[in-house]
Amino acid sequence: MPENLPSTPSPTTTMCDTKRFSLWVLQIVGLLGLLVFLLWLSLRPKQPTYTIINFSLPTSPVNQGGDNSTVSFELEIRNPNKGSDIYYDDMLLTFFYGEDTLGQKTIPSFYQKKDSTTQMFDHVDADPHVWKKLLGVISKATAELKVAVVTKIRYRMWGRKSKHHGINMHGRLPIGSDGKISGKKKKISLHPKQPTYAIVQFSVPTTDNGNTTCQVNQGGGKNGTISFGLEIRNPNPHSVIYYNDTLLTFYYGKDIVGQKTIPSFDQRGEKKKQMFKVNAEAQVWKKLVSAISYAPAEVMVDVVTSIRNRMWVHLSKHEKIYLQGKIPIGMDGKISGKKKMIRLHQASKKRSKVARQDISRLRSGNGAINHAIHHQQNF
């Protein structure tokens, strides 16, 4: 009888087994990669949050001896990380009134456990001259203070400390006549410092005799052109700023000279500068051209947008920005005076209301503001 010999697998069967094994290996590798990515997201540390939960200043005048008045505050710092502790370097807390420093306080370095909250109650000796200005305002209306917190932190995970990460947080405190935080919000959350804006190289084209090189025809059908440079600086080196569409509006008196919408973009910790052109409204353009042909004129600019800060993988909520500035225009059609860079500042409540109306008009027209971050473009 013939012996039963072992059957030899066919080449087709061998190839199928190899494909199944390769597919199984790929599935395992993909699953492990997904688990590692999810673990990285869950363990990557988040930035601590800072909140002014109490603020008080005495409303009585500074005594004749010149002693400083005392401002009391309570700062809440929360570590939201469930897997990492935080080591804080010395923390500098500064209160500003306008461009003046009201007072400063240095909080010594400390350690904070994971998923915990630390509340600090302390005092600041106020500068007497700035204090007098503030008293004069809050006796009649609400005043606004700015607060800044600057420090460096290190995370500790699995017994190892990370490198230093810079923290630069800012906030605005509305102060009522009682010397305390006014309004519905009694707790003021601090956020990364807002970007700074400046208008540079503003120009209304003119000839040597003061007449514009781009004339408007009698029918008003052709508009003049204004060119300007916009410089935006991100003061936070450790964060990325995502900008929604930015609307710039130029005014001459109460009339709108022209508007420019800058598409959304993102910015690292650096300075960005770009030149733009604005088509001016015909009738307002005529008034401006006539004015600068005889004497310097002034153009107002409003900037409206909203931003989001990203620190590592954490993305903040939308923060609205309303800025304004005054541009002195000489007879040569350029910025007059010694300052050739016009820095923009926080808009007043009245100007902010006008800016919101401009946004409504922009949304109802062809330039609807895009809030999707995945459409961000480099500025």
Q: Within this chain, do residues 255 and 227 fall inside the same structural domain, yes or no?
A: yes
Please tell me what DSSP assigns to residue 181. B
Q: Within this chain, do residues 133 and 236 fall inside the same structural domain, yes or no?
A: no
CA–CA separation, 342 and 231 (whole Å): 10
Torsion 247-251-254-257 (CA) sign: negative
- If you compute the radius of gyration of the chain from its CA atoms, what whole number of angstroms results? 29
Query: Does residue 159 fall inside a structural domain?
Result: yes
Number of structural domains (the chain) is 2
CA–CA separation, 320 and 331 (whole Å): 36
| CATH code for the domain of 144 | 2.60.40
Secondary structure element (H or E) that encloses residue 325, with its range: strand 319-329
Hunting for tokens 């005092």 — which residue is that? 123
Q: Within this chain, do residues 188 and 205 fall inside the same structural domain, yes or no?
A: no
Q: Which domain holds residue 128?
A: 49-192
- Distances, alpha carbon 81 to alpha carbons 78, 84, 116, 328, in Å: 9, 6, 8, 50
Hunting for tokens 């956020």 — which residue is that? 191
Q: Within this chain, do residues 243 and 112 fall inside the same structural domain, yes or no?
A: no
Q: What pLDDT, on the 0 to 100 scale, is given for residue 82?
A: 86
Report the 10 Å Cβ neighbour count for 256.
16
Q: Within this chain, do residues 188 and 200 fall inside the same structural domain, yes or no?
A: no
CA–CA separation, 49 and 190 (whole Å): 7
Q: Within this chain, do residues 228 and 181 fall inside the same structural domain, yes or no?
A: no
Query: Does residue 326 fall inside a structural domain?
Result: yes
Q: Within this chain, do residues 58 and 186 fall inside the same structural domain, yes or no?
A: yes
Query: Does residue 236 fall inside a structural domain?
Result: yes
**Beta-ladder partners of 343:** 198
Query: Does residue 10 fall inside a structural domain?
Result: no
Residue among 17, 9, 155 at smallest CA distance from 86: 155
Q: Within this chain, do residues 305 and 324 fall inside the same structural domain, yes or no?
A: yes
Report the 10 Å Cβ neighbour count for 360.
10
pLDDT tens for the chain, residues 1 to 379: 455 555 555 666 666 667 777 778 788 888 888 777 666 555 678 889 999 999 998 877 644 444 557 899 999 999 998 888 999 999 999 999 988 999 999 999 999 999 999 999 999 998 888 988 888 888 888 889 999 999 999 999 888 888 888 888 999 999 998 889 998 888 999 988 889 999 998 988 764 444 444 444 444 445 578 899 999 998 887 788 999 999 999 999 989 999 999 999 999 867 888 999 999 888 888 888 889 888 899 999 999 999 988 876 677 788 889 999 999 999 888 999 888 899 999 887 666 666 666 556 555 544 333 333 333 334 4
Query: Does residue 12 fall inside a structural domain?
Result: no
Query: Does residue 379 fall inside a structural domain?
Result: no
Q: Within this chain, do residues 145 and 174 fall inside the same structural domain, yes or no?
A: yes
Q: Within this chain, do residues 229 and 351 fall inside the same structural domain, yes or no?
A: yes
Query: Does residue 257 fall inside a structural domain?
Result: yes
pTM of the model: 0.66
Q: What pLDDT, on the 0 to 100 scale, is given for residue 64?
A: 44
Q: What six digits make up the tokens of 65? A: 């001896």
Query: Does residue 42 fall inside a structural domain?
Result: no
Cα-based torsion angle of the residue sequence 164, 312, 239, 259 in order, rounded to the nearest 10 degrees: 180
Q: Within this chain, do residues 91 and 168 fall inside the same structural domain, yes or no?
A: yes
Q: Within this chain, do residues 178 and 298 fall inside the same structural domain, yes or no?
A: no
